[in-house]
Amino acid sequence: MIGRFLRKLSLLFGRARFESELDEEMAFHRAEAEEAFAADGMTREAARYAATRQFGNAARLRDESHAVVGFRVETVVQDLRFAFRQFRRSPGFAITAIVILALGIGVSVAIFGFVDAALLEPLPYAAPNRLMSVDEASAMFPRSNLSRDDFDDWRRMNHSFTSLDAYGGMGFLLRTASRSEPVPGARVSDGFFSTLGVHMMLGRGFLPGEDQPGKSKIVILTYGTWLKRFGGRRDIVGQPVTLSGADYTVVGVLPREFEFAPRRDSEFWVPLLEKNGCEQRRSCHNLYGVGRLRNGVTMDAARAEMKAIAALLAKQYPGSNQGQGASVIPLAEIIVGPVRPILLTLLCGAGLLLLIACVNVASLILVRSESRRREIAVRGALGATRARLARQFVTEGLLLALLGCAGGVLTGDWLMQMLARLIPKNMLIHLPFLSDVGLNTHVLIFAGVVALLAALLLAATPTLRLTFAGIRDGLGEGDRGAAGTLWRRLGANLVVIELAVAVVLLVGAGLLGKSFYRLLHVDDGFDTTHLATVQVMLPDSSYTKDGQKVALYREINRRLSEIPGVQSVGITTDLPVQCNCDTDWIRIVGKPFHGEHNEVNERDVSPSYLSTLKAGLVRGRLLSDSDDANHPRVTVINEALAQKYFSGEDPIGKMIGDGGFTPNSMRQVVGVIRNVREGALDDQVWPAEYFSIYHDSDTYFAVAVRAARDEKAILPGIVTTLHSIDANLGVYGESTMTEQIESSQTSLIHRFSTWLVGGFAAMALILGVVGLYGVIAYSVSRRTREIGVRMALGAQRSAVYGMVLRQAGRLTGVGLGIGLVSAVGASLLMRKLLFGVAAWDAPTLAGVALVLGAASMIASFLPAQKAASISPTEALRAE
Amino acid sequence: MAKKPDLLPGTLDMLILKTLTRGALHGYGIALSIKRLSDDVLTVEEGSLYPALQRLLLQGWVKGEWKMTDTGRRARFYTLTAAGRKQLGIELSQFEQMITAIGRVLRDAQEA
C-alpha cells in the first residue's frame, strides 16, 4: 500500500517524464502496427491510417492512463481551475456571492466572538466551574447580601465547600498632593484569594485568621494601582500606605491578569477586620460569599445544605433571620447572567442573517446553473459522468464558501473590534472578559464550521438540480422545458425562506425597539432633566459626630444653592434609578405581625431633596428643615408603600417601627408622594420610605442639584464649591441624571440589542427583497416570449403588470405568513429582553407586514414594468 | 465482419501476467502474443492495454525497462516480478474456480 502511494507520488512529480515515456511507448506501438499492416501488403498510407484507427484516440488513452496512476487531487485541481475561470467570466456573480457570504459569516463570527468570551470562558481562575456565589435569599431578593455573622456561621457549619469566603465594597480616601481622592476598594475574608486560586505577583496573600477583629491593618494592591500609584517599586512589600487616615502595610501585589468582575474597579484589597457599625447587627447584609465546591459535591447538594443551615439559623435568631434562605449559583452566572439573553438573541439573529445570506447565494447559483444548462449538457454529452459534473458544482460551492469564509473572518475581526469599542466603559467594568474579544481558536473553528455548512448548502443546491432535470433536456433548444418548472419550484421556495427569515428579524427588531422606547419613557415619578449629581465621601476622622455631619449637609445646601443657575439642592443616601437596595424591615403599629420581613427601600434625604427631584406630593407634607434630632422621627412614604400596607386607609399620622418596635425606631408618617423610581428602569417599583438625613447621617451620600438650564455646565462649579467647603471631601461620579439613566446597564443592554438586531433586520430586508427582485426579474426574462405572445393576442399592459405583481404578491404573502407565525414563536423565546411589549404585539406585526409588503411591491414593480414594456414583435422574433 | 468476442472482464491483467511468464516483452509484443496464442480470437485493445500496464506497474507486479529491440528501436520491456508471479497464481486459481462453477451450471442447465 505504502509502496503504491510512493510510486504514485513519484509519478506526480515526474509527470513530464511519465508523459514522454508513455508517448514514446505508444508511438512505438503504432509504428510496429504500421509495419505489420504494411507487411500484409497495405500501402504506407493505408497502413498508418489503420494503425492509428486501431489505436484510437491517443489523448483519451493518455487521460485514462493518467486516471490509473494519478491522484484524485489532480482532477480536483482541474475543477478548481475551471471554477476560477467561471468566476472570472462572471465577476459580478462571484463578487456579489462572496460579499454576501462574507457579510453573513462575518456577522456570525463577530457575535460568536462575544458569546465565546462571555459565556464559554468568563472566569480567569483555576477550575472556575467549581466556584459558586454563596449568598442569602429572601422573599424580595432571590440573591441578597450575606451578613457578617451569618457568614461566620455558614463558614463554620458547612461541609459542601473546601473554602467559603466573603467580599464587600469599601471606599477609601487617598490623600494626594492636592486633595483627597476617593478610591474604590474591597474588604475580603482571609481565604478569598486562595479560594479563587489567585497567587500574588509580589509578597503574600492574606494568612488564615488575618481577617479577624484586632489584627493588624494590611493591604494588597492590584497590579494597576502598584504601577500607577507606587511606580511599580519592587520593594513595595512591607511599606506603609495611608488609607482614609489609617495606616496600612502592603503585604502583596496581585498579578496583572487578576480580575474580579463583581468588584472590578477595586484598587486596594483589605481584610474584613473590625466589624463596622452596621455589622454589629446580624441583620446587616453587606457582603457577598464565594465558595469552592468540595470534590464530588454538586451545586444542588451544596444549595440544599446551605438552605438547611439558613433554616437552622432562622430558628436560632428569628428576629434577624426569619425568612432568610440561601442562594448557591455559579459565580459565572452572576457575572454573565444579565448579558446572556442578549448574547443568545444576537447569536440567533446572526444565524438567521447567515441563513438568508446562504439562501440568497444559493438562489444566485441556481439562476446561474440555469443559464449554464447548455454547458452542462455539452459536457455530459462528451462523456462527463454525472458524478464528475456534480463534483464541479461542489468545487464551485466550496470555493465560494472558502472565499466567503476568508472574507467573513476579516469582516468578523473588524466588527468585533468595532463593537468592543462601542461598549461603554461603565459596562465593561461589569463584563471585563469582553475587553479581550478577538480572533482565537474557538472563533476560527466556529468560522470553519459555518463555512463548511455554507459550502454544503451551496454545493447541494445545483447538484440537486442535476438530479432533478435530465441532462439531455438541456441540449434541446429551448429553456422553456422542465428546468423552468424546476426553477419555479426550488428558486421560489428559496425566496420564501428569505422573506420569512427577514420577517422574523424585522419583528424582533421592532419589538426590541419598542421595548427600548418604553423603557426610556417609563414613568420615573420625578423630573429627570436638568439634574446634576455628584457622590461625596466624608473623611471619617474629621466627621465623627452626627452634629458635624448635619452641619456639613446644611452648609453644602447653602453654598451650592448660591451657584448661579442652581434652583435647588438635595442630599440623599441613594440617587434614584439605581437599585432596589438599602432596604429596611418595617412593622406597622396596629397591624398583625408574625416576625416577617416587610422589605422596603429606605432613603435618608435632606428636606429639600424630594422637592429638588420634583416628586409629586399626594397627601400630607414633605420633610422640613426642623425634622432633626431635636424633633420626633417622621417619614414620607411612596404610594406603593401606602397601597401595600395602608390599603383603604389614610396613612398620615400612622406609626411605623422596626420588627421589635424599638423606641427610637418609631416614626410617624407625615406625607405620601408619587412613586419615585429607585430601582432600575425595568424593575418593579418597591415600597419606599424617606427619612430626614438629619436623623440618620451617613459618610457616603449623593448630592442632586436642579439646574435652571444646562446641568452639565454647572458640574465643575459644584465640585469646586464642595472642595472649598472642605478640601478633604472625596468627590466623585460627577454626572447628570439623564446620562446615568442612558448609561445604566438595563438601558445599554436594550440599546445594544435594538441597534444590532435592527441592523441585522435591515440587512435581512435588503437581502430578502433583492432576492425577490432577482426571482421576479429572472422569471420575467424567461417568460419574455410567452408575454410577447400574450400581448400579440391582445393582452393589455395592465394584465401583464397584474400577472407579474400577482406572482410577487403570492411569494411575499407566503413568506409573510410563515414569517409572522415564526416571529411570534421567536419573540416568545426572547421575551426576557422585552419590556412592556407582548411577543404578539399587533402594531409591530402589522408594521413589519406593511414594510415588507411595500418593499416587495417596489422590488417587483421594476420587472413588472419591464414585462409590460416588452414589444410583442421583438419578443417573438427573438430566439 | 464477424464480431470478435470481448475479453471476459477482469481477465486482461491475468493474460498480460501470463504472457510475461515467457520472458520480457514490450507493449506491442504483449498484444501480438495474446492475439497469436488465442488464434486471433482475443484482441487486446490498445486503449485497455496501456492503462492496464500502468496499473500493473503501480501494483508492483511488473517492472518496466527501456531496451533496444531487434529492429534497433527503443522500447519499454515489461518483466514479471515475484509479486506479479504470486498474483498470477491467485488470479489463475480464482479463474479456475469460476470456470468450473460456470461449467457446472451450464451442465446442469443442459440436463434439466
DSSP A613-627: HTPPEEEE----TT-
- Whether B65 is in a domain gets the answer yes
Query: In Å, what is the CA distance from B101 to each residue of A197, A858, B104?
Result: 77, 75, 5
- CB under 8 Å to A677, separation ≥6 — which residues? A522, A523, A524, A525, A526, A576, A577, A683, A685
B57 domain-assigned: yes
- State the nearest Cα–Cα gap between A59 and chain B, in angstroms: 11
d(CA A201, CA A232): 12
pLDDT, mean over chain B: 81
pLDDT reported for residue A578? 86
Q: According to the model, what pLDDT value does residue A138 have?
A: 84
A479 φ, ψ to 5°? -105, 25
Residue A536's nearest CA partner among A729, A697, A728, A737 is A729
Considering only CB atoms, B28 lies closest to which of A29, A60, A61, namely A29
The DSSP symbol for A653 reads T
Residues in chain A closer than 8 A to B31 (CB atoms): 29
Whether the predicted pLDDT of B30 surpasses 70: yes
Residue A61 CB neighbours (<10 A): 20
Helix (H, G, I), strand (E, B) or coil at A689: strand
Instruction: Grade residue B110 by pLDDT with cuts at 50, 70 and 90.
Output: low
Q: What is the number of other CB atoms lying within 10 angstroms of the CB of residue A787?
A: 22
Q: Which residues of A touch chain B, with CB atoms under 8 Å apart?
A: 3-4, 7-8, 21-22, 24-26, 28-29, 31-33, 36, 54-56, 60-61, 64-65, 67-69
Contacts with B47 from chain A: Cβ below 8 Å: 55-56, 60-61, 64
- Counting Cβ atoms within 10 Å, is residue A177 exposed (0-12), middle (13-18) or buried (19+)? exposed
Residues, chain B: 112
The B residues from 17 to 46 touching A (CB cutoff 8 Å) are 26-28, 31-32, 45-46
**Residue B45 belongs to domain with CATH number:** 1.10.10.10
Evaluate whether ipTM surpasses 0.90.
no
- Which structural domain, as residue segments, surrounds residue B88? 12-111
Task: Name the residue of chain B whose CA is nearest to A64's CA.
Answer: B51
Given an 8 Å threshold on Cβ–Cβ distance, is B75 in contact with A55?
no
A589, amino acid identity: V
- Taking the mean position of all CA atoms in its chain, how far away is CA A527? 31
Q: What is the pLDDT of residue A690?
A: 92
Give dist(CA A417, CA A407) in Å, integer: 16
pLDDT of the residue at A252 = 92
- pLDDT-flagged residues of chain A (< 50): 471-472, 474-483
Long-range pairs of A254-257 with CB within 8 A, sequence gap ≥ 24: A254/A193, A254/A198, A254/A200, A254/A201, A254/A220, A254/A221, A254/A222, A254/A223, A255/A198, A255/A199, A255/A200, A255/A201, A255/A223, A256/A201, A256/A223, A257/A124
CA distance A127 to A131: 8
Please report, for chain A, the start and end positions of each structural domain, with discontinuous segments joined by +.
Answer: 2-70, 139-323, 339-521+746-877, 540-727
How many Å apart are CA A743 and CA A430, to the nearest integer?
13
Residue A408 φ/ψ, nearest 5 degrees: -65, -40
B94–chain A nearest CA distance, Å: 22
Residue B95 phi/psi, 5-degree rounding, is -65, -45
| Residue B39, in any domain of the structure | yes
Tell me whether residue B2 is in a domain. no
Classify residue A868 by burial, with Cβ atoms within 10 Å: 0-12, 13-18, 19+: buried
Most B CBs within 10 A among A9, A57, A64, A68, hence the mutation to make, goes to A68
**Residue A447 and residue A408 in contact, taking contact as beta carbons nearer than 8 Å:** yes
Model pLDDT, residue A629: 83
Helix (H, G, I), strand (E, B) or coil at A429: coil
Q: CB within 8 A of A544, min separation 6: which ones?
A: none
Per the CB < 8 Å rule, is A26 touching B31? no
Global confidence as pTM: 0.71
Above 70 in pLDDT, residue B80?
yes
Q: How many CB atoms lie within 10 A of CB A417?
A: 15
Cβ-defined contact of A28 to B47 (cutoff 8 Å):
no
Which of A172, A164, A261, A181 is CA-nearest to residue A221?
A172
* Backbone conformation region of residue B42, classed left if phi is above 0, alpha if psi is from -120 to 50, else beta: beta
Yes or no, beta carbons of B57 and A7 under 8 Å apart = yes
Cβ of B50 and A31 within 8 Å?
Answer: no
Structural contact between residues A639 and A618, judged by C-beta atoms closer than 8 angstroms? yes
Q: In chain B, how many domains are there?
A: 1
Residue B1 maps to a domain: no
Question: Is B60 part of a structural domain of the chain?
Answer: yes
- Give CA–CA dist A162/A271, Å, rounded: 20
| Residue B2: pLDDT over 50 | no
Rounded to an integer, what distance in angstroms lies between the CA atom of residue A510 and that of residue A96? Answer: 28
**What kind and span of H or E run contains A510?**
helix A482-520
